[in-house]
């Protein structure tokens, strides 16, 4: 099922923008799975009905559906052959079983059912009540049987999905416990990770406000937003994993995980964001990332003069792409990382275990490649990464945004003193000011917490004396360059949403 869903994602034509737009959202993976589920249910029902005419044809149809599932499964790098074979046999077996049962029911009722093939009797108004009820009983049995067939297919798909995902989690489980010094890898071998030469430490107390409901400065791994096209999370065996740097380089290099983490490790707090984040949305998060400087690794390979694009690729074939110039901006020295840890723990599987890219200032879809397998140096003209032919911008710096966390939109408050608070981000230009306006009134400056750096979001707060009635609260930020966040609303497509976050509250 998941495999068919993945194929649906892959095969979506570039013009199918809605599908592409949808895929960025967290709610959309369930949507795709639902779509596939409904399709399978319909196919099941169709085959069940068809089976009335020809049992042999129905069996062939089942074979074709299962074969399509197998072919799709083989596209998933983490699906094992025995698992796929098991799922296929289980599906064929249960489908044939249901068909046999259906066949039994059909022949048992065929004599009394024959009236239903008379067109006149299919019109309940003109038919004799007894034969009409017999016909509908037969129809009910067929629909039930067809439904059972569909449900069998769905259950088969869900079980397969759970098995594959469970496998992915087992592979990384020994690595997710937060002991970076020596984490046993059930996938093979033990990797000891040296400590960072430039640790980032814990954030100072004045970097956070103690306000109920404000987004934490550093988002715990379990709460971090997750976006990717992988319906089944890739599971990577760290002992055989390799990172290859190739393309327009003086000498191609290949690093094992051990070799990678022997290079100097540094730590940075970096806020990453999804281009599909709506104004006020939650597809953004801040974490401490530990990893190797991307530039260190690129220098080992020797980037050639004409290389204008960095194209990171994932083990599942997904690609990102950004200008090499982003790494060489004299006005903006920035450390892009090949990250191996998130908040002091090995990368969780969902966030790219064992290694991913973190590039300050760029939206995830052009940069933050999870389950990294290789990095190709090429030109901007020569290659368009995964989302570009699907209608998203080729170059995508994160736009300045601010969000009101408290009070919540639609909240009911009692009149009196309240804190309005939230976060604002403009990686990696930094945030200079945040302002709040109530009911279209004058912009008033909020108080900023101490920023961890230009690449991270910052918490803000302002005191509000709430008076009875309905109120609209609006926020805007000014980035480190002095550019004020635009009020003009745009949708996420194609290069990120613009506009001020606004909430409504009622005070009594």
Ligand X SMILES: Nc1nc2c(c(=O)[nH]1)N[C@H]1C(S)=C(S)[C@@H](COP(=O)(O)O)O[C@H]1N2
Per CB under 5 A, residues contacting Mo ion are 227, 274, 364-365
Question: Residue 110: CB partners within 8 Å, gap ≥ 6?
Answer: none
Q: Min. distance of Cβ 460 from Mo ion in angstroms?
A: 24
Backbone torsions φ then ψ of 151, nearest 5 degrees: -60, -40
Q: Is 314 in the site for ligand X (CB under 6 A)?
A: yes
Residue with smallest beta-carbon separation from ligand X: 364
Q: Is 341 in the site for ligand X (CB under 6 A)?
A: no
Stretch near ligand X under the rule CB under 6 A, chosen from 84-92, 150-158, 214-222, 365-373: 365-373
Q: Is 224 in the site for ligand X (CB under 6 A)?
A: yes
Stretch near ligand X under the rule CB under 6 A, chosen from 201-209, 324-332, 366-374, 394-402: 366-374
- The item of Mo ion, ligand X, none sharing an interface with residue 332, based on CB under 5 to 8 Å by kind, is none
How many contiguous H segments (helices) and E segments (strands) does the chain have?
Answer: 9, 21
Q: Min. distance of Cβ 387 from Mo ion in angstroms?
A: 8
Nearest CA among 219, 347, 328, 234 for reference residue 272: 219
Contact assessment for residue 264 and residue 296, using Cβ atoms and an 8 Å cutoff: yes
Of residues 224 and 464, the one with the C-beta less far from ligand X: 224
Binding-site size for ligand X (CB under 6 A) equals 18
Q: Which of residues 226-265 bind ligand X (CB under 6 A)?
A: 226-230
How far is residue 78's CA from residue 73's CA, in Å, rounded to a whole number? 9
∠ CA 156-157-159, rounded to 5°: 65
Contact assessment for residue 359 and residue 397, using Cβ atoms and an 8 Å cutoff: no
Of residues 229 and 290, the one with the C-beta less far from ligand X: 229
Stretch near ligand X under the rule CB under 6 A, chosen from 324-332, 362-370, 415-423, 460-468: 362-370
Contact assessment for residue 270 and residue 358, using Cβ atoms and an 8 Å cutoff: yes
How far is residue 434's CA from residue 445's CA, in Å, rounded to a whole number? 6
- The item of Mo ion, ligand X, none sharing an interface with residue 369, based on CB under 5 to 8 Å by kind, is ligand X
Strand-pair partners of 349: none
Dihedral class, residue 416 (left if φ above 0, else alpha if ψ from -120 to 50, else beta): left
CA dist 352 → 313, 347, 348, 401 (Å): 12, 6, 7, 26
Q: Is 429 in the site for ligand X (CB under 6 A)?
A: no
Strand-pair partners of 416: 466
Of residues 227 and 298, the one with the C-beta less far from Mo ion: 227
- The item of Mo ion, ligand X, none sharing an interface with residue 225, based on CB under 5 to 8 Å by kind, is ligand X
Q: Is 286 in the site for ligand X (CB under 6 A)?
A: no
Chain positions contacting ligand X, by CB under 6 A: 24, 224-230, 274, 314, 318, 351, 364-365, 368-371
């Amino acid at each position: 099922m998941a495999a068919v869903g993945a194929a649906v994602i892959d095969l979506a034509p570039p013009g199918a923008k809605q599908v592409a737009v949808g895929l960025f959202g967290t709610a959309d993976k369930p949507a795709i799975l639902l779509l596939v589920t409904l399709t399978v249910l319909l196919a099941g029902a169709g085959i069940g009905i068809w089976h009335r005419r020809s049992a042999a044809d129905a069996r062939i149809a089942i074979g074709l559906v299962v074969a399509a599932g197998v072919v799709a499964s083989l596209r998933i790098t983490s699906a094992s052959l025995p698992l796929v074979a098991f799922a296929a046999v289980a599906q064929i077996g249960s489908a044939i079983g249901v068909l046999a049962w259906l066949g039994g029911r059909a022949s048992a009722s065929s004599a009394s059912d024959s009236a239903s093939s008379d067109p006149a009797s299919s019109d309940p108004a003109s038919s004799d009540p007894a034969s009409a009820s017999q016909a509908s009983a037969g129809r009910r049995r067929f629909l039930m049987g067809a439904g059972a067939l569909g449900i069998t297919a769905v259950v088969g798909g869900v079980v397969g999905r759970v098995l594959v995902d469970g496998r992915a989690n087992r592979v990384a489980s020994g690595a997710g416990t937060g002991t970076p010094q020596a984490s046993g890898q059930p996938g093979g071998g033990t990797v000891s990770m040296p400590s960072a030469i430039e640790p980032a430490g814990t954030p100072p107390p004045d970097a956070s406000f103690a306000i109920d409901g404000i987004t934490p400065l550093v988002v715990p791994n379990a709460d971090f937003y997750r976006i990717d096209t992988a319906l089944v999370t890739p599971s990577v065996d760290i002992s055989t994993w390799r990172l290859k740097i190739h393309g327009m380089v003086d000498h191609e290099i290949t690093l094992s995980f051990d070799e990678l983490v022997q290079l100097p490790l540094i730590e940075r707090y970096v806020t990453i964001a999804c281009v599909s984040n709506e104004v006020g949305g939650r597809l953004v998060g801040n974490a401490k990332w530990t990893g190797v400087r991307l530039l260190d690794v690129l220098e080992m390979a020797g980037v050639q003069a004409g290389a204008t694009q960095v194209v990171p690729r994932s083990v599942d074939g997904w690609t990102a792409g950004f200008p090499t110039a982003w790494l060489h901006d004299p006005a903006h020295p920035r450390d892009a990382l090949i990250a191996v840890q998130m908040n002091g723990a090995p990368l969780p599987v969902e966030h790219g275990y064992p290694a991913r890219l973190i590039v300050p200032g760029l939206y995830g879809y052009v940069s933050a490649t999870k389950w990294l397998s290789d990095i190709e140096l090429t030109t901007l003209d020569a290659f368009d990464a995964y989302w570009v032919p699907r209608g998203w911008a080729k170059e995508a710096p994160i736009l300045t945004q601010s969000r009101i966390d408290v009070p919540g939109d639609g909240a009911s408050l009692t009149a009196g003193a309240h804190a309005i608070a939230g976060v604002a981000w403009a990686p990696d230009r930094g945030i200079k000011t945040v302002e709040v306006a109530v009911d279209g009134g004058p912009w008033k400056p909020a108080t900023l917490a101490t920023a961890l750096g230009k690449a991270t979001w910052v918490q803000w707060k302002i005191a509000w004396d709430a008076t009875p009635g309905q109120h609209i609260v609006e926020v805007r930020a000014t980035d480190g360059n002095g550019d004020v966040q635009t009020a003009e609303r745009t949708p996420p497509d194609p290069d990120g949403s613009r506009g001020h976050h606004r909430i409504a509250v009622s005070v009594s």
